[in-house]
Amino acid sequence: MNFETTALRLVGDQDEQAQKPALTLVQPNGKLRLGEQKYKNLKRAQDIIEMLAWATVVFVTATFLIDGGVKQIVDVPSALNAVSRLTSLVGTDLLLIAMLLIARVPWIDKFYGHDKATLAHKKLGKPILYLVVAHFLASLIEFAIVNGENILATAWWFITDVQDMLLATIGLALMILVVVTSLTFARKKMSYEAWFIVHLLSYASVLAAVPHVFSSGSDVAGKPVQTIFWVALYLFVAFNIVWYRVALPLIRAARLGLKIQTVVKESSDTTSLYVTGKGLEKLGGQSGQFYLLRILTRKRWFKAHPFSISAAPNTQFMRFTIGDRGDDTGAMQTIKPGTKVMVEGPYGVFTEERRTREKVVLIASGIGIPPVRALAESMAARPGDVTVIYRVRNAYDASLLDEMREICRRRDFKLHVLSGPRARSNSWMSADGTDTPDQARLTLMAPWVSESDVYVCGPEAWTHSVKKSLLRAGTPEEQIHSEEYAW
Amino acid sequence: MRTATKSAIGILSLGVIAASYTAGTAAQIGFGAATVSNSSAAGESTAVDPSVVVEPTPIAVETDEVGEAGDDDLTSVPVQTKAAATSATTPTSTPTPTATKTAAAAATPAATPTPTKTASTVATSVAKTGSAINYKYGTIQLEVVKSGSKITSINLIQASTKGREWASVPSMLVTTAIAAQGSNFGNMSGATFSTQAFKSALDSALAKF
């Protein structure tokens, strides 16, 4: 009964807020393919991509073996030489794959999502460094033994006298710096910007190592098949990075000329930015996706922040709803209309692309609401197909709640607002005065949850406990969709 | 990756790895195999005269002999080759002696009757000696013979290498360099330093033309 009065009051508020655009909703998606096959197709595509990646590793190992890499081993130096060759081949191959994973390439994002690709990229970091360091040390010790000199003298001679080795050594030093600054303990002590600038050095690191690969790489230089393979791989990765991470966003930014049109306060600590520009529909995003937003002012242009769109893509505007977390998002609450912005994207697979079932449950908490709000607006659904669960601290001060109510009313979706303090320390729901377990309450709110696609968006720990409840309630893992925090 | 795909790919990869390992053990030692593939690739400049390509072999034999006879680790070849080379410093002489495939001993007397081979292309061959390049395993110095703009042969004046197993490297490099018509060819794996020094020696000789 509380909700009813709240809704009325908020509707009244809305009338008084003259600046807030009237709620116009897009036409929901009319058609959507559903069914198990969709999931199988996705898995098949993923298998093909992973197979290709794995094939490159097998290929480089095979070239080493065919060339007599094992047969040449007769003593310690030649064994070290073999180690050096093999680690460099596999290490470089994985390094290029890792770079591709972070290039925000659409054909990777489409099948894995930006989050999964980023996590895979992170996982590869350390193994690559180990391989490259092993390559360096093996070569060094090999030459020290052959020359009969100590390691330091050999290292000095190596760096100063051998073609391209100075550059390659600089590359190695940079790579160590990049990986060490990315380790969890170091990340915590550094600002995102400092880390990011150091991380950019990885491009310099990779480029610095290129000359020695082609001038003295035992498995590349002077071998046509291998040279073609490596040149092609380097160029392919370079093309993807330059095109998708640099050129395309810049071209788009120039064409769209995006600007902030209106700034609307949604609650005490959230604000919506309405962004307009020429030909917004060309961006081609979907509900549930996010963009990297850059505010083009002198102080902030170099920082990009990921935000989900909080309204389905339309021709009029693009809307981001931003919660004040005390960092840059705090400054964004009071940004002036007319400020120029730039977006990179759309990214993410928190969309209907992943939907395989007719029934849908959307679960959001706090500032996790924007993508859920957009999905609720545009999802293909018959009345009653969709259930929305929105967890808020306080129903009087929840962003986009009145919009959610309006959408659910118009489209005949069920909306459950869970407001107030949590039920138990590990519960993701609000207290209801009883001791009912979360999954039991979940099943009451969404009786068909086990055969629904469930989209969950909220803080990491909260999302985790929602997932647990869902699994207990019988929802298969592949029907649970959430974006992982991967920045 | 799905488990079924994973197992299939795993087995396939093991097969590929095993096959390439077998191929690898059947092949020549590392740098030998490399040069063969290299020269055949660079060999698309079909102008390479087969008789010239044969040229390094006698030298390689000499090198081996010296290596066996002589010093413990470093093998140097100057003696015989130098003699052949110095007698050849007069223009028009070089490519043929070795090309005629006469035994190394007979090579020197046969110096004069050159024109047969070279006349077909351009009348005169010019030989220039580059500076001696000192490197990790000794010294490499080359004499390059050009007929017109084409490198017809390269003689090793000095060519010391790491040890006996590497003694044939310089002559292999000669073959490769002639095929590539210069120093723009790849690294010979297992003989990186010899390759580097050889290239410098070759460049210094070519610079004198």
- The answer to whether residue B73 scores a pLDDT higher than 50 is no
B5 touches chain A (CB under 8 A): yes
Does any CB of chain B come closer than 8 Å to the CB of residue A224? yes
Q: Which residues of A touch B189 (CB under 8 A)?
A: 67, 85, 218-219, 221-222
CA of A56: which chain B residue's CA is closest?
Answer: B13
The burial class, CB within 10 Å (0-12 / 13-18 / 19+), for B12 is middle
A231 in reach of chain B (CB within 8 A)? no
Residue B52 confidence (pLDDT) above 80? no
| Of residues B16, B17, B186, nearest to A222 (C-beta) | B186
**Does the pLDDT of residue A147 top 80, yes or no?**
no
Q: How confident is the model at residue A242 (pLDDT cuts 50, 70, 90)?
A: very high
Per-residue pLDDT, A159: 83
Q: What is the mean pLDDT of residues B8-12?
A: 93
Is the predicted pLDDT of residue B55 greater than 70, yes or no?
no
What is the pLDDT, as a whole number, of residue B25?
A: 82
CB neighbour class for A134 (10 Å; exposed up to 12, middle 13-18, buried from 19)? middle
Confidence of residue A14 (pLDDT cuts 50, 70, 90): very low
Q: Which residue, among B176, B25, B174, B48, has the nearest Cα to A223 in the 3D structure?
A: B176
CB contact under 8 A, B186 and A227: yes
What whole-number distance in Å separates Cα of residue A479 and Cα of residue A39? Answer: 9
Chain A residues in contact with B37 by the CB 8 A cut-off are 222-224
Nearest to B163 by CA among B72, B41, B69: B72
> Once rounded to an integer, what is the mean pLDDT over residues B48-65?
39
- Mean pLDDT for A379-394 is 92
- What band does B96 get if pLDDT is binned at 50, 70 and 90? very low
Residue B26 backbone class (left: φ over 0; alpha: ψ -120 to 50; beta: rest): alpha
- Percentage, residues of chain A above pLDDT 70: 95
Q: Which chain B positions have a beta carbon within 8 Å of A46's beta carbon?
A: 1
The pLDDT of residue B91 is 42
Q: What is the pLDDT of residue B70?
A: 39
**What is the mean pLDDT of the segment spanning A185-195?**
83
Whether this model's ipTM surpasses 0.95 comes out as: no
Contact B157, B143 (CB under 8 A): yes
A426 touches B: beta carbon within 8 Å: no
| Overall pTM surpassing 0.95 (yes/no) | no
Name the burial class of residue A2, with classes exposed (0-12), middle (13-18) and buried (19+) by CB atoms within 10 angstroms of its CB.
exposed
Half-sphere exposure of A30 (CA within 13 A, CB side): 1
* Token reading at B89: 């410093």
Amino acid at A434: T
Do B77 and B66 touch, CB atoms closer than 8 A?
Answer: yes
Q: Say how far residue B111 (Cα) sits from the centre of its chain.
A: 21
Most trustworthy range by pLDDT among A17-26, B24-33, B51-60, B127-136:
B127-136
Do B192 and A219 make contact, defined as CB atoms within 8 angstroms? no
Q: Which residue has the tokens 């020290």?
A: A144
Put simply, the answer to whether B190 touches A65 (Cβ < 8 Å) is: no
- B198 close contact with A: CB closer than 8 A: no
Contact between A131 and A83 (Cβ < 8 Å): no
Q: Which residues does chain B have within 8 Å of residue A146's beta carbon, measured at their own beta carbons? A: 162
Give the tens place of pLDDT for each residue, A64-120: 998 877 887 888 888 998 999 999 999 999 999 999 999 889 889 999 988 899 999
Q: Residue A19: what pLDDT?
A: 55
Would the pLDDT of A437 be above 60?
Answer: yes
B23 touches chain A (CB under 8 A): yes
**Residue A165 confidence class, pLDDT cut points 50, 70, 90:** confident
Give CA A412 to chain center in angstroms: 33
Tally the residues of chain A.
487
Helices (H), A67-163: 76-101, 106-147, 151-161
Instruction: Using a CB–CB cutoff of 8 Å, tell me whether B21 touches chain A.
Output: yes
Q: What is the mean pLDDT of residues A438-465?
A: 92
At A388, the pLDDT band (50, 70, 90 cuts) reads very high
